[in-house]
Amino acid sequence: MDAASAAFAGGRYVEAQRRFEEIASRGGSEAPAAALQAVEALRRQRGCPAAAPRYDDVHSRYPDTASGNEAAWQAGDCYRALGELSRARQSLEALLQVAEYRSRAEAALQELTAREEQVASANAKKAKAAAAPVPASPPAAAKAAAPRATVSE
Give the separation between CA 88 and CA 72, rounded to whole angstroms: 9
pLDDT in tens, 98-148: 999 999 999 999 999 998 888 888 888 888 888 877 666 665 555 555 555
Q: Is the pTM of this model over 0.75?
A: yes
Select from 41, 64, 68 the least CA-distant residue to 55: 68
Instruction: Decide if 23 contacts 34 (C-beta within 8 A).
Output: yes
